[in-house]
A and B are shown apart, each in its own frame.
Chain A
């Protein structure tokens, strides 16, 4: 999906830098790294308190971003560089979890779900996430403001009762509204060809 034309300045600067990275511009890569690394560290810090591990994950993430950009696996026309970096970091984190699991045979296989779009390759995941970002921003008329709010609340773990109490409606009505939001988000994603359950997406090489 093409990037929206009304990107704010910083995002546009990053998009320009990403295009230059594809041509091997190390300074452009440093621009992206300098701007996104602190936020990435903050996000990783929510998943682990191990500072050494965070440094290692960041190192692997940025190495992956650099290699992907150089190899042409990142397409600025498909997703924002910030989303792509996030997707690479997410995959790096998942790989780390799988590594832990591989050394612990007693641990259940709970981290990997082949039907989960979050396990797609970074480029596909970034593209999907960018669409969801735009949906949450109200770029598609399908979702009402209340439905977008419900999706955000539910993603934070809020149940039907919590959502209902905040909206002043019954839990069953809140659940119906949530299901309606899910249906609309599914249709938006399907409209743009996102079918995470398809084999080619699952089998795509990971970043």
Chain B
């Protein structure tokens, strides 16, 4: 067997090893819904309010309330890299998406994925609060992060995807699209020297938050080889 064949086998064996090691964590059991002791009281109060409202409004036509936006990932795009600063362009773009933000978005570890183009531009940013709810982000594997970003991807031709899971006190985490966009912009700055090194991005992010906020990063390079 030739030397290059042996080396190819070694490389493939290492990739197979990586495939096994990169298995996402299995969620241990089903997550029980949180007990809400106030739920029965709220139901009674809601019924009372509905009766009162009907009495007051009768025989007026029923209210036509707009339905709340469906919760889910918020994709902010397109966004030139040059606009990705903590002021100016990023805010303007984020403002246009404010109407899609549900104030009742779940709290908990959030997903922030930044999709970069080859020419240093940023394709788009995905921000999903509560994406890793019920998970300890320290136990998330790289495959979990990549999968989460991939499932919520906002671009198909990116060269590099920077994926972050961020957890901590709610008041310290990005609370809206503006803040998420600013964070994405700031975290993208070290790309020049971080390249594809997730630990480098983690270090950068750690400097942006108090110690009570934890950040786990992963990158996915999509360049052809």
A115, B2: Cβ atoms closer than 8 Å: yes
- B contact residues, total (Cβ < 8 Å): 39
**B-facing residues in A22-52 (Cβ within 8 Å):** 34-43, 45-49, 51-52
**Closest beta carbon of chain A to B221's beta carbon, Å:** 7
Q: Does A151 contact B (CB under 8 A)?
A: yes
Q: B150–A154 contact, CB under 8 A? A: no
The answer on a CB contact under 8 Å between B159 and A49 is yes
* B12 x A129 contact (CB < 8 A): yes
Q: How many residues of A contact B (CB 8 A)?
A: 51
Smallest CB gap from B17: residue in A: A133
Flag the segment in B41-49, B82-90, B141-149, B202-210 that touches A. Answer: B141-149
A38-B24 contact in complex given A49-B224, A118-B5, A196-B5, C-beta closer than 8 Å: yes
- Name the distance in Å between B148's Cβ and chain A's nearest Cβ: 9
| B142 neighbours in A (Cβ, 8 Å) | 42
Considering the chains assembled together, what is the distance between the CA atoms of A133 and B12 in angstroms?
A: 9
Residues A155 and B7 in contact, CB atoms below 8 Å apart: yes
Question: Closest Cβ of chain A: how far from B173's Cβ, in Å?
Answer: 25
Task: Flag whether B96 is at the interface (Cβ < 8 A).
Answer: no
Cβ–Cβ contact A39 & B13, under 8 A: no
Known: A86-B19, A117-B5. A42 touches B146 (CB 8 A): yes
Question: Given A42-B143, A51-B156, A156-B11: A133 and B16 within 8 A (CB)?
Answer: yes
Take A38-B147, A45-B220, A52-B156 as given contacts and tell me if A132 and B23 are in contact as well, using a CB distance cutoff of 8 Å.
no
B12–A86 CB distance below 8 A: yes
**Does the CB pair A49–B157 fall under 8 Å?**
yes
B13 x A132 contact (CB < 8 A): yes
B170 interface hit (Cβ, 8 Å): no
Residues on A with beta carbons closer than 8 Å to the beta carbon of B10 = 132, 136, 151-152, 154-155, 185
Residue among A46, A117, A152 making CB contact with B9, cutoff 8 Å: A117
Closest Cβ neighbor of A125 among chain B residues: B12
| Interface flags, B10-30, vs A, CB<8A=1, else 0 | 111111111110111010000
When distances are taken between beta carbons in the complex, the residues of chain A under 8 Å from B224 are 47-49
Within 8 Å CB of A85, what residues of B?
19
- Cβ of A92 < 8 Å from any Cβ of B? no
Known contacts A129-B16, A136-B13, A154-B10, A41 near B146 by CB under 8 Å: yes
A41: B residues at CB distance < 8 A? 146-147, 150
Having A51-B222, A182-B3, one finds 11 other A-B pairs with CB under 8 Å, namely A35-B24, A41-B147, A42-B22, A43-B18, A49-B223, A51-B157, A80-B20, A132-B10, A155-B10, A185-B10, A186-B6
Top 7 closest A-B pairs, CB basis? A39-B22, A132-B13, A38-B143, A38-B147, A82-B20, A155-B10, A86-B16
Interface residues of A (CB under 8 A from B): 10-11, 14, 34-43, 45-49, 51-52, 80, 82-83, 85-87, 90, 113, 115-118, 125-126, 128-130, 132-133, 136, 151-152, 154-156, 182, 185-186, 189, 196-197
